[in-house]
Every structure is written in C-alpha cells, then in structure tokens.
Structure 1
Amino acid sequence: MHVDLPLIRKYDVPGPRYTSYPTAPHFRDDVPPEQVLQAIKDNNTQARPLSLYVHIPFCQTLCWYCGCTTVIGKNASQTEPYLAALDEEMRRKARWLHPARKVVQIHFGGGTPTFLTPAQIRWLGARIRTHFTLAEDAEIAIEVDPRRLTIEQVQALKDAGFNRASLGVQDNNPRVQKAINRIQPFEMTERVVGWLRDAGFSSINVDLIYGLPYQTTDTFDQTLSEVLSLRPDRFAIYTYAHVPWIKPAQKLLERHTLPGPDEKLAMQKRIIERLTSEGFRYIGMDHYARQDDELTRAWQAGTLRRNFQGYSTLAGVDIYGFGMSSISQIDGLYLQNPRELPDYLERILQDDFPIHRAYLLSDDDRIRRAWIMALMCQARVDFTDASRDLGVEVADYFEHELRELAPMADDGLVELDASGLTVTPRGRLLLRNICMPFDAHLSAGARQYSRTI
C-alpha cells in the first residue's frame, strides 16, 4: 500500500476520531434524567445483544503521554470499594435490561485493568455472570500492562473467561521509554505474549504510538520488527495526540525532542507500507489485522462497526458502560458516568444511571451518524440504500456537504457519482478528513481534537 506524503501533509488538521457521532466533547450536562430513563426503557423492549465495557482506572505510575481517565498510586486500598461499586452498578443497571438479552462482548479498559489481583479478577468475572447472561461464544477482552502482569494473573484471566488481550507497548526503544516514563524491555513483552498464548488466548493485539520523544522512522521500524516477531493478530498504532491543555502531564514531554510533522508522516508511511507487506490488512483509523482475522473478514463483508473501543465485528450491539468515566452507547443515547472517583462512588449508591454527561440524538444526528459510520467502516455510501434506510434523499440532504468534497475528489481521495460516494484506497488514510464536512457540530470545540496525522 503506497502512502503519498505530500497529500497527507495537505490534510493534517485537527479533527475527531469518530468513535461516536456526535463526539464526546458535545455531550451535555443538562439532559433531563427522565428522558435518559425513557431512552433506556425504549432500548430494552427487545432482546438485542449486549456489549459491556468495564473501566478499571488504577495505574501504579503515570505514563506521561497518556490521555486516559486514570487514578494513579500504588496504594491498593481504593480497589475494593471500587469493585463493590462496580458490583452495585451492575446490579442496578441489570434491572432495567430485557431479561433475555445476552452479552456477546465484554471489554475491560483503563487505566490498567491488570492492576487487579488474581482473586479480584476471578471475583469480578463471577459477579458479571451473576448479573448478566453471557453467550457461549462471547468475546471477553482486556487491556494488559506487561510491566506488572504475573503468570498468576494470566491464569485468573483465563479462569474468568477472558479470551482476547490487548498489550500496551507503545515503543521498545529505551531512550523513548525513559522519556515517557514507561520502562518496558522487549523481553518483558515477549514473555507475556508467551504466557497468553500458552493460556489459550485466541487473539492478541499490540498497541503502539508514534510521535513520541526521540522516535525516528528507523527506531520505530526496529520496534515493528521486534513486535512482528511475536506474531500478534492485530495492531492498533496511534499517532501521539499532544493535548496538554486537557492532559497537563503531557507538558513534561516538551522537555524532550518531539518528532516534527515530516518525521511523523515518514513514520506513518513506513508503518502502513511495512505492515501491509507483512500480511496485515489496513482496516482504517490506525487499525491493522491479519488477513484471516475476524476484523478483516468483517471489513470485507461490510459488517464492520465502530465504537468507543475502536473497530468491532459485532453489528446491532448496544454498549453499557460500568465504572468511572465509562460511556454507554445505545440507539439514540450516549451516557457517561461521573469522571472523578469520589463522585462516582457516591453517585452509584444513589442512581441506577448516574449522569455526568449525556446526549440524546436528534433526527439529524441519527442521519449524520449513519452516514459517517458508513464512511468509517465501509468506505462507501450507496445513495439508494442510504435513502431507503434513513428515510431521506441523501443526495439532496447532503447536497452542500457533497459539494465540499470536490477538492478531495480532485486529489483522488473520493469518487462521487450518481450512485454514491466511495472512499478510494489513498483516501482511506484520511477518513477523518472525509467525514468532517458531514459533522454539523465540528465548528464548536475544534481545539479539543488531535491532528488527523
């Protein structure tokens, strides 16, 4: 897969990643609770499949590039009250759900989910099964920090039903690791991958980040070589989002040499061209999967979906979030839990659905969400099919926005004709930019987004 650097440089502007539409900065704190509860009731008139997201915020140390919602400290005394609150939240929310709904997917994110002890992992896995009915083939995934994972924790994860793991690596270069406050020798990652394979985990993803201090195209290529030797099933390789106005700890990285735009573009070019030559499919938006992976098959079949965890193979699934800052994503509603630990612990004892921020989609939001997600996941919108599904003549509805794509068509990013809009192979590298003209909320809060490259 060839990467045109001058073309990518032209479109390097701030923009959303479109894990939702509207995006999280547009959630509101004044949505009436009764409207939220009515939306939950409406969502549970049928036994639609469920996905559960569980946020474990604890980390022993802070990685200075991190943009996640975390609680930092080696003191584990906060963990037990938090687990009790998760159990109570699951109990309360489960009462609202259709009793025949089955969980087809669970994702533990963080923070560091493997901050939990083996006993806590087993206990939480059992409590989930107490409150919910799991499908026999449920995907149960966890984000793993190889620096502090033990073989005992791996066995506990297997006992609790986990079958997929995502390993945070970011970079193997010692100088980069020291600059970002994350010391993780490659041998440590290699050992953990071996443990997970021996335990029977069916899928292993590796997270990397480019754009960190002291990285160059050649040093990052060395990291790629080392990680490829582990034969992961998927990669998620993100460009570092420097947003110190949101995450003040990132200012610490400014003491070091950050790669300039041209170096970051060269790294992206090397990543894409190398992984696609090594048998990985570029799924889009930083994600890569082997040719026989379920993610690749979903992309080929047009059943790929996108949510706050990235790309997913499961269509028609509602996500219910648990834990501080977690987001529930159901038809017509986004709902975010309190972001601070004390507020979450207090509110979860008072409300079945503690609301920090929420968003109820308008008819226009639903139409634009379907359009943007089709571009993000299928790279194609058929006008006839979209008009039938959305109840509007989409070519007329988006007449102005489609005209805005003319420069992108001239640059070979999209093809537009009477039948529909298609993103070209070179345009798939710039999906965020192609979606932005259809975002009615974009003008507000643009500074809150990272650059698209």
Structure 2
Amino acid sequence: MSCSLIQKYNVAGPRYTSYPTVPYWDETTFSLEAWKQTLKRSFDESNTTEGISLYIHLPFCESLCTFCGCHKKVTKRHEVEQPYIQAVLKEWELYCQLLGDKPNIKEIHLGGGTPTFFSVEHLQQLIQGILAKATIAEGYEFSFEGHPNNTTKEHLQALYDLGFRRVSYGVQDYNENVQKAIHRIQPYENVERVTQWAREIGYESISHDLVFGLPFQNLEDVLNTIDLTNGLTPDRLAFYSYAHVPWIKGNGQRGFKDHDVPKDDVKRTLYEEGKKKLLAHGYHEIGMDHFALAKDGMYQSFQAGTLHRNFMGYTSSKTQVMIGLGVSSISDSWYSFAQNEKNIDVYYECLERNEIPVVKGHVLSVEDLKIRQHILNLMCTFETSWADSTMDFPEREQVIVQLAEMQHDGLLQIEQDRIVITEQGKPFVRNICMAFDLLLKRRKPETQIFSMTI
C-alpha cells in the first residue's frame, strides 16, 4: 500500500458496527416506549421466519487488559456472579413478557468482559434460563468468548452440551514485552491447550483474535504470532487494528506512551505483511479484518453474499432483531437501537422496578435506513447499488463526487448505478463508508471521538 494513500486516508472514522454510529444517535426522538414499539414490530415481522439473536454481556474481569475497548468491571470477587445472572434472567423475562410469542432464538453470543470469569454452574443456569422461555431456530449458532488463561475443559464441555459450537479466544500477540504492556500475560501453551480441548470436544468453529498496532509490537512479533497461530489452525481469525483512544478510555490505555504505539505506514505494514502470511496459510479475507478457512461458515456466508454485520461484528447469518442483555449491551430492532445502563448498580435498580434497563437509543429515519443498508453492503460485500429506487437518496450526487476522488486513487469503481470496491480499496472500506455517512458530514465532531481508519 502506498505511503501517500495512507497519509491521505488515515483519518479518524467509525468502524460501522451500526449506522447511525452511537455518537450520532438522536435521543430527542427516542424513548423506552419507542424502543418497545419498534422492537415488537420487528419481532412480529421476523421471529417465525428467521428468529432473533441474543447478545449477553458478562462484564467481569479479574484484571484489566489495557488494549481493551469493551465495557468491563474488574474484580476478583466471584460472589458477584449469582446476582448478575439473576439480573440478566430478570431482564430476559421482561422482554419475553413484552414480545408475547415465544422467541425463536437463532444466535446467542456471550461476550464481555470475560464470560469464562463465571463458573460452569452459573453459565449453565444462565443459558438454561434463557432457553426455558424460547424455541431454538433451525441452523442456530451459539458462541462465546473464552479467555485462554481461565477457560476450563468443564466450561467447554458444559457449553457444548447446551448447544454451543463456536468459541473465540483472545490471543492478541505472543511477544512477552507486548503482553506486559497490555497487561495480558498469556503463554502460547495456554492457547494451545484450550484450542485442542475445544477441538476434542467437537466445536465446529474455533476463532483466534489477533491485534496489530499494539505498543512495542514490531513486524517480527506479528509474523511469529501468525506462524504460531497457523500451527493451531483455527477455523477463523480476527486480525484487527488496536484502537488507541486514551482520551475515551482514560488510564486504561496509559500503561505506555503514545510513541510506543506503531503508527501510519509502520502500523499498516504490520497488517499488510500479516495478511500476506495468512493468505499463504490458506485463509481467505472476509469483510474487514477477518479471515477464515474455506470450510468455515463465515467464508461460505461471504461467498453466498449473506454475511451480516452488527454490534457483535461479522456474523454468518442475519436476524432483524438482536436483543442485548446485561449492563451496557446494545440492542437492534433494525428500526431502532437501544443501549442498556452502563452503571451496574443502576442496572440492578431498573430491574428491581421491573423496568427494561435501556438508557439511550435512536429511532432510524427513512434516510437512516437507506444509508445503513449501503454501509452494510460495503462492509459485507465490498459493493453497493442504488438501481432499486428504494435505495436512492437525495444527497447521492454529492456522495458520488466524493467517491470520484477515491476512484481516481484506485480504491473503487463507479458504475452507472453502483460502486465496487477494488482489491486496493479494501483496506480503506471505512473511508469509503464515511463518504455515505451523511450525519458525519453534517456534524463533524469538534474533537476526536473515533480511532484512526488505517
């Protein structure tokens, strides 16, 4: 990738797990009642045909990893587990009462925090409580994030017995100096052990998360991590950019100096060379920052054009409804977004009053829905079209003017009624999406609120 293109397009921008992005949610038109109405509408439209997704946020961690941008609560007190499980099940009960018909669950994902902070018994109690009030859709996918240092064989077996077939392990980097900087000491042997356990038990998709651009990380570290990872042959990989946003995350990302973090063309080289090695090892690039073997469902979904992206990242299938349970979780009814209370004590208080603990959100306008679909198309298939009049929008000509410069730079091709991102343009997909982001154009942030795109 040319250094001039990196310098030109390396700007702060969203990762587009939603549109509108969270900073542009209009809370003046949002209310809990509006959320309930749009959720019920969407549920009635899609529950019997495609089912719903559940994201369950389990926020506790025993130690703070300084690279992490997720909402978490650091504690070694495991007595917090049972009250939290009861709260999440209470929230689920409130949603089941609202929805009326039995939810048909297509996806469950346990995220965090550290889901494997919780005991086997408490995770069983949680999933059994969820499924007791639901049916399971055909072709369902249950997945969870496991910490290699504390995931036990009992965790893996118990969740497998409950229907989980995919597990994701956070690896980041195997260099000890990098691990010390991000406060995540995690020997290769731990990752090897939990990967082999999952394979022995019968998990169908094992994923490893790798991060480039970490403090003190160099090209040798990245390539060595990829070689070690290839020896374990996970079915899919996330190989994504460290988002250095200490102005948002505060002291959690101040365990090192700004100059310790690779930047610009140096950082991009880590990705480009890492990507070459992944492709040489038989992985296929999927969407943005994801790779999968040909046998994995994510690759097959990408080939079939059914890949989807939401607040959980890329998923192999789409559901119109995604309900987020737990503190800070975000829900999506397609017509609106809603985020739960981030303060765990306030979250508990809402549930004690029999209130769904939503604190903010956004109801999508007709324009929002059109732009959202264009951005989803670009993020999942690297092209989008307005041949269908329902996908046209008033500012299209202004967007095309901005895209023309990107076409000149070789990032995309503009055709009569669509655009197609080129191979050279794939690393710049966030920038291309920004050309469609009408809200970002109308109200550019006065201070930096997004990570850099390259």
Q: Same fold (TM over 0.5)?
A: yes
Residues 337 and 151 from structure 1, CA distance in 2 versus in 1: closer, same or farther, beyond 3 angstroms? same
Matched, 1:12 2:10: yes
- Determine if the alignment matches structure 1 residue 250 to structure 2 residue 253: yes
The reply on whether 1:383 has 2:391 as its aligned counterpart is: no
Q: Deviations over 1:87-107 (max 9, x none)?
A: 100111012225254111100
- The residue type equivalent to 2:399 in the other structure is E
Residue 59 of structure 1 corresponds to 61
CA distance in 1 between counterparts of 2:157 and 2:226 reads: 28
2:360 corresponds, among 357, 360, 373, to 357
The number of residues matched between the two structures is: 446
Secondary structure of the structure 2 residue equivalent to 1:425: coil
Is the partner of 1:356 in helix, strand or coil? strand
Stretches of structure 1 that go unaligned for 5 or more consecutive residues are none
SS at match of 1:421: strand
Q: What secondary structure is seen at the aligned counterpart in 2 of 1:409?
A: helix
Give the equivalent residue in structure 2 for 1:140. Answer: 142
Residue in 2 that maps onto 1:23: 21
- 1:121 paired residue among 120, 123, 135: 123
Which of 369, 373, 377 is the aligned partner of 1:370? 373
SS in structure 2 at match of 1:252: coil
Q: How does 1:237-276 map to 2 (within 5 A)?
A: 237-248=239-250, 249-254=252-257, 257-276=260-279
Indicate the residue corresponding to 2:326 in structure 1: 323
CA distance in structure 2 between the aligned counterparts of 1:216 and 1:290, rounded to whole angstroms: 26
The Cα offsets for residues 184-214 of structure 1, whole Å up to 9 and x where unpaired, read as: 0001100010111111111011011111121
Indicate how the Cα distance of structure 1 residues 34 and 266 shifts in structure 2: closer, same or farther if over 3 A, else same.
Answer: same
Q: CA deviation at 1:29?
A: 4.6
**Aligned match of 2:297:** 294
Which residue is 2:437 aligned to? 439
- Which residue in the other structure is 2:176 paired with? 174
SS of structure 2 residue aligned to 1:325: coil
Relative distance call for 1:132 and 1:220 in structure 2 (3 A) is same
Deviation of the 1:255 alpha carbon:
7.7
Shift of the 129–228 alpha-carbon distance from structure 1 to 2, 3 Å rule, reads same
Residue of structure 1 in register with 2:114 after alignment? 112
Report if the CA contact (8 A) 2:156-2:198 is conserved: yes
* 1:343 counterpart letter in structure 2: V
Aligned twin of 2:91:
89
Structure 1 residues 289 and 8: CA distance shift in structure 2, 3 A: farther
> In structure 2, how many angstroms separate the alpha carbons of the residues matched to 1:219 and 1:373?
33
- State the 1:342 CA deviation: 0.7
CA RMSD of aligned residues (A): 1.7
Q: Which residue of 2 aligns with 1:415?
A: 413
Q: Distance in 2 between matches of 1:83 and 1:146?
A: 22
Q: Any stretches of 5+ residues in structure 2 without a counterpart?
A: none
1:354/1:310 CA distance change after superposition, 3 Å:
same
Deviation digits for residues 372-404 of structure 1 (CA, Å, limit 9, x no counterpart): 11111111123323x2x43x4x5x641111111
Measure the CA separation in 2 of the matches of 1:223 and 1:47. 42
Q: Is the 8 A contact 2:6 2:265 kept in 1?
A: no
Deviates more, 1:29-38 or 1:206-215: 29-38
Q: Which is further off, 22-31 or 166-175?
A: 22-31
Question: Do the aligned partners of 1:5 and 1:269 also contact (CA within 8 Å) in 2?
Answer: no
Pair 1:44 & 2:47 matched:
no
2:315: which partner in 1?
Answer: 312
How far off is 1:47 after superposition? 4.4
Letter paired with 2:362: Y
Deviation at 1:176, TM superposition (A): 0.9
Note the 1:326-341 alignment, pairs <5 A: 326-341=329-344
Q: 1:373 to 1:289 in 2, by over 3 A?
A: same
2:196 to 194, 197, 210: 194
- Which of 321-330 and 311-320 deviates more? 311-320
Secondary structure of the corresponding residue to residue 240 of structure 2: strand
How far the C-alpha of 1:35 sits from its partner, in A, is 1.9
2:232 is the counterpart of 1:230: yes
Question: Aligned letter for 1:62?
Answer: L
Q: Which amino acid aligns with 1:337?
A: N
Q: Secondary structure at the match of 2:234?
A: coil
- Give the 3-state SS of the residue equivalent to 1:371 in structure 2: helix
- For the residues of structure 1 that align with 2:74 and 2:27, how far apart are their CA atoms? 26
Give a deviation string over 1:153-193, Cα, whole Å, max 9, x none: 22222222211000001011111111111110001100010
Residue 56 of structure 1 contacts residue 112 of structure 1 at CA under 8 Å; is this kept in 2? yes
Instruction: Evaluate the alpha carbon distance shift between residue 5 and residue 282 of structure 1 in structure 2; reply closer, same or farther with a 3 A threshold.
Output: farther
Q: 2-side partners of 1:382 and 1:180: how far apart?
A: 42
